[in-house]
Amino acid sequence: MRKSSVIRIALAGTGLIALTAGILQGGYQDTLMKAVRICMECIGIG
């Protein structure tokens, strides 16, 4: 395999590991709640 292909696969694997760790720690819930608050403030409801 070419060196660039190995690097791409390694970076993709690292990204998937980081994504999985964030999901397991509940990080997406914080992001979702912040996004909802910002949207509500823009609309003028919150």
Tell if the pTM clears 0.75, that is, is over it.
no
Rounded to the nearest 10°, the torsion over CA 24, 26, 27, 31 is: 140
**The residue type at 23:** I
Maximum separation of any 2 CA atoms in the chain, in Å: 55
pLDDT digits (tens, 9 = 90+) for 12-44: 999 999 999 988 998 888 888 999 888 888 887
pLDDT at 46 over 70: no
3-class SS letters over 15-43: HHHHHHHHHHCCHHHHHHHHHHHHHHHHH
